[in-house]
Each structure stands twice: as C-alpha cells, then as structure tokens.
C-alpha cells in the first residue's frame, strides 16, 4: 500500500516544541514525536504496548515518556524502563522507534527497515534555511489519496484552469508541452512559457508593463518530494534591465496519513532582496491556490469513493505522472520480499 523504505516529512521544526508531545498519523501508523533534551527529534510508535493507550496523552519525564493510563515509562529508544508495582521488566515491553532526522526546517522519518535508513539520501531543501532566500512555512491537510496530489503536481497544465485567477493567469500554460526526463528516483519536468500574461500575484510584485516569459523546472522524487525553480521576466529584451526578474524556489512534500488522507508540507521561497512584505504576499497567494487544488482533488476523491470504478484515460500531458507512478509501483514491488520476511 505504501512505500516504507524512504524518507517522509513528518513535521515542520516548529511543530516539535521543547517539553511537548506531538502526534501525527503517517502511513496508517500513529507516531509520537518530541525533542530530547539535546534538541534532537525522537519518533516512537504512539501505542503503549500494555493496553494500547496513546503515549501522546502521556507525560514527559526527562527524555522519557510515561503512559498516563497504567504508568509504564519508556525511554527515547522505545524500551520500557519502569512498570509501577513490579521490578522485573520483560524485554518485549517496548514500542517501536523510528529513524528521524531534522534537515533544514523539515523533520524526516523513515518508516521502513532502520538498517536501510541513510540520511545522505534526504533531498537538499536549501531554500528552507538559506540567507539568500526568504519563505513562510505552510501545511495543508487533504482528504484524498497521496497519488492524486502527486498527479496534480506532475501536470502543471491545470494552472490555466484551476488557478485561472491566482497562479495561472493564461491558457498558454496548458498549451505549452513540457519536457520530461526520468531520474533514478523520480522525474524532472521543464515547462517554459514565452510571451504570456503574468499571473495576478506576479503582476502585483513586479508591475510588468507587457508580456512575460515564465518557467517551471522541478524534480519530483519518490515518495512525493517536489524541488522547483521557477521565475518570471519581461518577454521584451529591452524591458528586462528595468523590470525586475522574479525568481522562486519551492519545496513541497507529500506524506500519506492514510489511504484517503494526506499531509502536504510546502514553502515557496523568494529571493531575500525582495521587500520582506513580498514573502507574506506570496504565501497568501500560494495558500489561495492550494485551497483551489484541495477543492478539486477532494471532490475527485469523493467521486472515486462513491461511484463504480472506471479506468482513467491518459493524455500526452500525462507523461511525467505516468513515469512517476511506474517508479512508485516498482519501489513497492521491491519491498514485497521484505514484507513477506516480516510476517
């Protein structure tokens, strides 16, 4: 159902506050997240091994968590270290711990075989924490399957219609065919639109006097990580010296909650040379557009859930999403021997 031997974004850094317990469901598993006294993130299965009470309703005691149902106490590695009323603690009294790493502003979790967790494979999300870029963190919760959201991100032709008044601004986006390159763990998509109308929020940022050139160049990586360079500049060469070129870098991450619910972490960074107020303006524009996406995708999910199944028909513009779904299927198949061994 889900790929497990890969890194997923579990939280923004600010969601894990010192001394607090934070719960999030990931791949149908309830996960307890918190920071140890040295600031490093900790991830444990949220279900006490005794009577399955949620540890997120427990109490921090140093780097340990005490279940507030019958008092079992667990260390940061998930091992039970105290049971009220008895001295001997059976070795099997423990909860699963997960490899977890903070890289830049995102907290990443590995849901599969811990022996295969290599933090060097975490993608570079430099614009989340770089002096040349400024951003505001964002999060959206979808009542939809993660693959439907990936489909949306892999085909930007929808910008012309879903985001006609926000990120789109022109039918030229849908009419321009992108180029697609397959990567080892994803796809690279390049879409360049020349001599087109600027999006409304671009116009407010730069006051373009005529048509513009726009570009979107991004890698979309298994299990659902988007790293994108995009920008806008005046189409007329004579205007480029006096009209600002807008450059953006976006980091987006899709983390399944369940088969029909998804966590969506995002940041659209702008060059720090822009007015600081521009960051809030860009954030609000992106949030408005993502709510447009959510409205469409959740309606799509409801239709799928409540009607007889029918095959989706492909278009030439589906090349990137078709390649990505194939990569996801191959990754799932590669893990099946591990699944059989664990049962």
User: Tell me: the pLDDT tens digits for 63-105?
Assistant: 999 999 999 999 999 999 999 999 999 999 999 999 999 999 9
Least confident residue range of 43-57, 157-171, 217-231, 260-274: 157-171
CATH number for position 74: 2.102.10.10
pLDDT of residue 166: 83
Residues 6+ apart with CB under 8 A from 247: 229, 230, 231, 270, 271
Other CB atoms within a 10 A radius of the CB of residue 176 amount to: 18
How do residues 221-276 score in pLDDT, each as one tens digit?
999 999 999 999 999 998 998 889 999 999 999 999 999 999 999 999 999 888 88
Phi, psi (rounded to 5 degrees) for 336: -60, -40
Residue finishing a domain among 92, 121, 150: 121
- Domain match, 133 and 99 both: no
**Does the pLDDT at position 339 exceed 70?**
no
pLDDT at residue 312 tops 60: yes
Q: Note whether 178 and 260 are same-domain residues.
A: yes
Q: How far apart are CA 307 and CA 334, in angstroms?
A: 32
Claim to verify: residue 170 and residue 303 sit in the same structural domain: yes
Q: How far is CA 118 from CA 11, 35, 200, 219, in A?
A: 19, 20, 42, 20
Q: What range defines the domain where residue 229 resides?
A: 126-333
Percent with pLDDT over 70 in the chain? 98
Q: How many domains does the chain have?
A: 2
Helical (H) or strand (E) element with 146: helix 146-154
Cβ neighbour number for residue 201 with a 10 Å cutoff: 21
67 vs 173, more confident: 67
Do 159 and 174 touch, CB atoms closer than 8 A? yes
In whole angstroms, what is the distance from residue 164 CA to residue 172 CA? Answer: 11
Residue 2 domain-assigned?
no
Q: Does residue 340 lie within any of the structural domains?
A: no
pLDDT of residue 342: 43
CA distance 282 to 265: 16
| Burial category of 207 from C-beta neighbours within 10 Å (exposed 0-12, middle 13-18, buried 19 and up) | exposed
Residue of 93, 63, 96, 97 whose CA lies nearest to 80? 93
Q: Are residues 102 and 153 in the same domain?
A: no
**Assign residue 266 a region: left if phi > 0, alpha if psi is -120 to 50, beta otherwise?**
beta
Q: Which residues of 36-63 are buried (b: 16+ CB within 10 A; e: fewer)?
A: eeeeebbbbbbbbbeeebbbbebeeeee
- Domain contains 163: yes
Distance CA(197)–CA(248), nearest Å, equals 18
- CA separation for the pair 22, 17 (Å, rounded): 8
Residue 341 has pLDDT above 70, yes or no: no
Residue given tokens 């199944």 in the structure block: 309
Answer yes or no: is 295 within a domain.
yes
Pair (88, 134) in one structural domain: no
339 inside domain: no
**The residue to which tokens 């506050």 are assigned:** 17
């Amino acid at each position: 159902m889900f790929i497990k031997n890969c890194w997923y974004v579990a939280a923004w850094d600010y969601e894990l506050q010192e001394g607090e317990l934070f719960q999030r469901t990931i791949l149908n598993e309830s996960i307890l997240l918190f920071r140890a006294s040295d600031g490093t993130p900790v991830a444990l299965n949220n279900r006490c091994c005794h009577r399955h009470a949620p540890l997120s309703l427990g109490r921090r005691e140093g780097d340990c968590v005490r279940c507030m149902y019958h008092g079992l106490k667990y260390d940061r590695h998930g091992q039970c270290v105290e049971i009220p009323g008895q001295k001997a603690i059976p070795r099997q009294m423990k909860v699963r711990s997960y490899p977890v790493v903070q890289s830049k502003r995102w907290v990443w979790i590995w849901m599969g075989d811990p022996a295969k967790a290599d933090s060097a494979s975490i993608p570079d999300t430099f614009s989340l924490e770089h002096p040349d870029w400024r951003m505001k963190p964002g999060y959206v919760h979808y009542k939809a399957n993660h693959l439907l959201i990936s489909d949306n991100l892999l085909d930007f032709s929808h910008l012309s219609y879903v985001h006609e008044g926000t990120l789109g601004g022109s039918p030229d986006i849908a009419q321009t065919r992108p180029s697609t390159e397959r990567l080892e763990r994803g796809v690279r998509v390049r879409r360049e639109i020349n001599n087109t109308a600027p999006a409304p929020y671009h116009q407010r940022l730069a006051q373009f006097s005529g048509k513009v050139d726009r570009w979107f160049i991004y890698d979309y990586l298994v299990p659902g990580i988007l790293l994108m360079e995009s920008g806008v500049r005046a189409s007329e060469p004579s205007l480029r010296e006096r009209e600002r070129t807008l450059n953006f870098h976006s980091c987006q991450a899709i983390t399944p909650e369940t088969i029909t619910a998804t966590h969506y972490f995002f940041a659209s960074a702008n060059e720090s040379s822009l007015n600081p107020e521009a960051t809030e303006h860009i954030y609000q524009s992106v949030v408005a557009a993502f709510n447009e996406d959510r409205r469409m995708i959740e309606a799509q999910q409801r239709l799928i859930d409540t009607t007889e199944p029918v095959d989706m028909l492909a278009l030439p513009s589906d090349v990137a999403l078709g390649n990505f779904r194939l990569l996801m299927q191959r990754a799932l198949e590669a893990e099946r021997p591990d699944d059989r061994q664990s049962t």
